[in-house]
């Protein structure tokens, strides 16, 4: 008798899998844009200055905060994945480790965002 396909019920593992892919794609595109805009300095220094000047806007400051969030989440979730791949203890405690990743993310972003956004919107250093 053929077996029926299993239904994956989601939970933390599925969401962390999705988070890893989405943040990885976001970081990839940032790096691609960064390489392209930096290469402008060799082609046209004035165009390079114009592009860099456009980055000093509140919209870009918010995008930059999103980039930092993606990097932090991608990095700590990557460490969680390494632990799960290498340790039977971590494999059994994936749910707890997922919540630890989110906790670290919240703490780090809570320290970063107020200072960054104050700087972006003119209220800080």
Q: For the chain, what are the domain ranges?
A: 11-120
Q: What Rg, from alpha-carbon coordinates, does the chain have? A: 20
Q: DSSP of 4-62, one letter per residue?
A: PPPPP--HHHHHHHHHHHHHHHHHHHHHHHHHHHHHHHHH-HHHHHHHHHHTSSHHHHH
Q: What is the pLDDT of residue 119?
A: 92
Entry pTM:
0.82
- Indicate the pLDDT class of residue 124, thresholds 50, 70 and 90: low
Q: What is the pLDDT of residues 59-97, one digit of tens each?
A: 999 999 999 999 999 999 999 999 999 999 998 899 999
Q: What is the pLDDT of residues 15-35, one digit of tens each?
A: 899 999 999 999 999 999 999
- Asked if residues 24 and 77 have their Cβ atoms less than 8 Å apart, the reply is no
Fold of 11-120: 3 helical TM bundles of succinate and fumarate reductases (1.20.1300)
- Indicate the pLDDT class of residue 122, thresholds 50, 70 and 90: confident
């Amino acid at each position: 008798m053929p077996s029926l396909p299993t239904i994956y019920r989601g939970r933390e593992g599925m969401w962390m899998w999705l988070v890893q892919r989405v943040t990885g794609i976001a970081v990839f595109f940032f790096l691609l844009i960064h390489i392209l805009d930096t290469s402008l300095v060799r082609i046209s220094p004035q165009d390079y200055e114009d592009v860099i000047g456009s980055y000093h806007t509140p919209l870009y400051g918010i995008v930059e905060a999103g980039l930092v969030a993606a990097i932090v989440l991608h990095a700590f979730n990557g460490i969680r994945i390494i632990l799960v791949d290498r340790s039977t203890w971590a494999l059994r405690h994936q749910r707890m480790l997922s919540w630890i990743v989110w906790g670290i993310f919240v703490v780090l972003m809570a320290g970063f965002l107020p200072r960054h956004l104050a700087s972006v919107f003119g209220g800080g250093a």
